[in-house]
A and B are shown apart, each in its own frame.
Chain A
């Protein structure tokens, strides 16, 4: 790609990558650093990266940088460590989105990453497989499990509607 295309990638994907990483880490400073590192890595290799593949390259790099950051901070979470928190009281939530965001925060990071890539960016199972390094079946399982967890987190239907 050219320098102009690189700058286009910044405009088009910086915000999305920032939201994706921020949703995973809930830490603005680390998220900012990861985004900076991601684009620096792209800048180093920009002559070799095709512009049409830049988005995938950026998300892959950002994801792995995030995982490295998490491991470095010794926050390796068990993939099955689902916080089985559900709404046990009678509090009614009119903002479904807020509740869902709370539920997403409870997910293990791999499930959360797969779900966010699916919903935030609309990636297919195949594309998520390429980004995360998981196989397609695993991606599907994690997304299914994440959806079920969100459903359970919402509690009964009467509390949401």
Chain B
């Protein structure tokens, strides 16, 4: 950077303090050679700068003597010395020298006094108009406060929207039909189906319970069912072992969706063959039904044989996915005198005991 009249003072202090590099000193000296009046000004500042830098120390008495010798106050440096004095930049020795010089003439005294009055004092009547706008009363983060406010408003709006647009769930609740089992008295001429609600169709039987009825004697069915006059037992037996035409009936449909009070009675025709009640082999799945069957037993005496047969046929069809058909011959009084059960490969006709 070149030294000019606009910036020489920045270099002057460093020059006087010996902080310029050799190159900069050479530049500054060249500048001073070009401007003699500035060179005289710098020359006047030299003793002052020397006084500020070379302050006497306990171990540098020679330097102290040297400073005392070179300390001079003159017309050229009087203003700077006065400024330095009033700024507090002079030590005691320099100050005393200046005071001695000032006391030598009234002109110096007046000028020295004026320099002392050049301090600018603030007008305390001038005040900030409204300091209350600067003070803070809360430590709440304004940003967070605004965020909470916005979230609160948004939550309130969202609640209002949900409240006024919520669906009517009550109208969507299903009305499940209730299956009613109607038990008819034994001598009733009017035979009604077990289930009043004909539209209630139990769902399909679980595949594990479905067994086909094959032919007259052969069957893969391993389950047995028996019913007696006195009580209803749920048992299973295998007709194949007897080689006889047996009706394999399974009581109690345990399938999903069937109401707990829905029962299908079982039928056993061991009496036709004279066979004693076979040993029941209870299927574990039917055991539970047997327990429920105790409730059914209480009503068994009100069932007619026809009711039992029809229910049994229905149960067989559902379990085995066959279309076993029931046919009955009644007398003039409406009582059944002969039964017939037939399927594709199955045909059984029996007369009632009375007959």
Which of A's residues lie within 8 Å of B, judged by CB? 3, 6-7, 10-11, 14-20, 22, 32, 35-36, 39, 43, 78-80, 96-97, 100-101, 104, 115-116, 119-120, 137-138, 140-141, 143-145, 147-148, 150-151, 154, 157, 160-161
Q: How far is the CB of A20 from chain B (nearest CB, A)?
A: 8
Check A7 against B9 for contact (C-beta < 8 Å). Answer: no
Interface status of B87 (Cβ within 8 A of chain A): yes
Check A148 against B135 for contact (C-beta < 8 Å). Answer: no
Check A32 against B129 for contact (C-beta < 8 Å). Answer: yes
Q: How far is the CB of A120 from chain B (nearest CB, A)?
A: 5
Q: Hey, which chain A residues are within 8 Å of B131, CB to CB?
A: 10-11, 14-15
User: Contact partner of A3 among B111, B114, B139, CB < 8 A?
Assistant: B139
Interface status of B34 (Cβ within 8 A of chain A): no
Q: Give 6 nearest A-B pairs by CB, closest first.
A: A119-B120, A18-B128, A137-B13, A14-B128, A10-B134, A120-B122
Q: How far is the CB of A32 from chain B (nearest CB, A)?
A: 7
Check A18 against B136 for contact (C-beta < 8 Å). Answer: no
Check B10 against A147 for contact (C-beta < 8 Å). Answer: no
Q: Say whether, besides A36-B134, A115-B120, A119-B120, A15 and B114 are in contact (CB < 8 Å).
A: no
Pairs A–B under 8 Å by Cβ, sample size 22 = A3-B137, A3-B138, A6-B136, A14-B128, A14-B131, A15-B124, A15-B127, A19-B126, A32-B129, A35-B128, A39-B134, A80-B7, A104-B120, A115-B120, A120-B122, A137-B13, A141-B9, A141-B13, A145-B9, A147-B115, A151-B118, A157-B111
Q: Hey, which chain A residues are within 8 Å of B124, CB to CB?
A: 15
Check A18 against B135 for contact (C-beta < 8 Å). Answer: no
Q: How far is the CB of B302 from chain A (nearest CB, A)?
A: 90
Within the assembled complex, what's the spacing in Å between the Cα atoms of A125 and B225?
Answer: 116
User: Contact partner of B136 among A3, A80, A141, CB < 8 A?
Assistant: A3
Check B134 against A80 for contact (C-beta < 8 Å). Answer: no
Q: How large is the interface on B (under 10, 10 to 19, 20 to 34, 35 or more residues)?
A: 35 or more
Q: How far is the CB of A97 from chain B (nearest CB, A)?
A: 7
Interface status of B90 (Cβ within 8 A of chain A): no
Check B122 against A19 for contact (C-beta < 8 Å). Answer: yes
Within the assembled complex, what's the spacing in Å between the Cα atoms of A35 and B118?
Answer: 27
Closest to B142 in A: A43
Q: What's the A-B contact tally at a CB cutoff of 8 Å?
A: 90
User: Contact partner of B119 among A15, A80, A119, CB < 8 A?
Assistant: A119
Interface status of B79 (Cβ within 8 A of chain A): yes
Q: Hey, which chain A residues are within 8 Å of B323, CB to CB?
A: none
Q: Hey, which chain A residues are within 8 Å of B129, CB to CB?
A: 32
Q: How far is the CB of B157 from chain A (nearest CB, A)?
A: 32
Closest to A78 in B: B6
Q: Which of B110, B122, B124, B133 has the most chain A CB atoms closer than 10 A to its own CB?
A: B122
Within the assembled complex, what's the spacing in Å between the Cα atoms of A76 and B124?
Answer: 29
Check B110 against A157 for contact (C-beta < 8 Å). Answer: yes
Check A160 against B114 for contact (C-beta < 8 Å). Answer: yes
Check A154 against B114 for contact (C-beta < 8 Å). Answer: yes
Q: Which of A19, A20, A138 has the most chain B CB atoms closer than 10 A to its own CB?
A: A19
Within the assembled complex, what's the spacing in Å between the Cα atoms of A151 and B13?
Answer: 21
Interface status of B57 (Cβ within 8 A of chain A): no
Q: Which of B80, B120, B123 has the most chain A CB atoms closer than 10 A to its own CB?
A: B120
Within the assembled complex, what's the spacing in Å between the Cα atoms of A59 and B55?
Answer: 33
Within the assembled complex, what's the spacing in Å between the Cα atoms of A17 and B110?
Answer: 34
Q: How far is the CB of A109 from chain B (nearest CB, A)?
A: 15
Check A101 against B114 for contact (C-beta < 8 Å). Answer: no
Q: Hey, which chain B residues are within 8 Å of A15, CB to CB?
A: 124, 126-128, 131
Q: Hey, which chain B residues are within 8 Å of A138, CB to CB?
A: 10, 13
Within the assembled complex, what's the spacing in Å between the Cα atoms of A137 and B13?
Answer: 7
Check A148 against B127 for contact (C-beta < 8 Å). Answer: no
Within the assembled complex, what's the spacing in Å between the Cα atoms of A119 and B86?
Answer: 12
Interface status of B117 (Cβ within 8 A of chain A): yes
Check B83 against A147 for contact (C-beta < 8 Å). Answer: yes
Within the assembled complex, what's the spacing in Å between the Cα atoms of A101 and B129?
Answer: 22
Check B127 against A18 for contact (C-beta < 8 Å). Answer: yes
Q: Say whether, besides A140-B13, A161-B110, A148 and B83 are in contact (CB < 8 Å).
A: yes
Within the assembled complex, what's the spacing in Å between the Cα atoms of A141 and B83?
Answer: 11
Closest to A47 in B: B139
Check A32 against B128 for contact (C-beta < 8 Å). Answer: yes
Binary interface profile of B, 1-18, with partner A (CB < 8 Å = 1, else 0)? 000001101101110010
